[in-house]
Structure 1
Amino acid sequence: MRTFLLILAISFTLLSVVFAALPMDTLAFAPILLALLFIFLAFKKSDVAQRKFPKRLFIIAYLCALIVLGKTFFIKDKVAVDTQFEQQKKNTKQDAKKDLEQLEKDLE
């Protein structure tokens, strides 16, 4: 049972690291919470001499949680206005109008 819990804890901890690195925002807390749950259960099932590895997994999971919290509260997403694109869009509309006017004159 301990081995199964450790395998689950390791897999969810690895998933937590990946989700913490990606811009998943608070969705990254799902594998982190599952990892912490399985780590806790593995820690409880372990003997005193076998608790070193689950403790390290706890540290990794807590660091992932801190990283996700830090990214959520301290990094703000900003949307910048692309003036060059807006100008290009206006020019494209003007060119399309000119082409239509020219086509109208040609058809007459």
Structure 2
Amino acid sequence: MRKTFIILASFFTILSIVFTALPLGTLALLPIGLSLVLGFLAFKRSTDTEKKFPKIILIIAGLCLIVVIGKELFTKEEVAQDVQFEQTIEKSKEEDKKELEELESLEGDLE
């Protein structure tokens, strides 16, 4: 049972490292939590001489947890307005109106 806990904890620890590196927000908390729980269970099932690897798993998962929480608390996501894009849209609308007026005047001349 200890080996199963270690294998699963290792898998979720690697997954939590990947999720922590990617900009997924708090989605990384799920594999981090699972790796912490499974690492703790592996730690409890280990004898004194076998506790080194579960400790490493717990430390890595704890560091990932700190990084994810830090990223969520200290990074601000701001949406800035793109003034140049807004001006391009306005110019495009004005050009479209002019083209419609020209088409209407051509239509009037044909009648």
TM-score range, shorter-chain basis? over 0.9
| Deviation at residue 9 of structure 1 after TM alignment | 0.2
* Residue 78 of structure 2 is aligned to residue 78 of structure 1: yes
> CA separation in 2, counterparts of 1:27 and 1:101?
53
How large is the Cα RMSD of the aligned pairs?
Answer: 0.7
TM-score (norm 1): 0.97
TM-score (norm 2): 0.94
> CA separation in 1, counterparts of 2:67 and 2:5?
25
> CA separation in 1, counterparts of 2:46 and 2:90?
68
| Deviation at residue 27 of structure 1 after TM alignment | 1.8
Question: Which runs of at least 4 in structure 1 moved beyond 6 Å after TM superposition?
Answer: none
Cα deviations across residues 5-30 of structure 1 (Å, max 9, x unaligned)?
A: 11100000011111111112122111
| Deviation at residue 50 of structure 1 after TM alignment | 0.6
Q: What is the SS of the residue equivalent to 1:9?
A: helix
> CA separation in 1, counterparts of 2:63 and 2:73?
15
Gaps of 5+ in 2: none
Number of equivalences: 108
Match of residue 40 from structure 1: 40
> CA separation in 1, counterparts of 2:7 and 2:103?
70
Match of residue 17 from structure 2: 17
Match of residue 106 from structure 2: 106
Q: Percent identity?
A: 51
Gaps of 5+ in 1: none
Match of residue 91 from structure 1: 91
> CA separation in 1, counterparts of 2:35 and 2:19?
12
Structure of larger gyration radius: 2
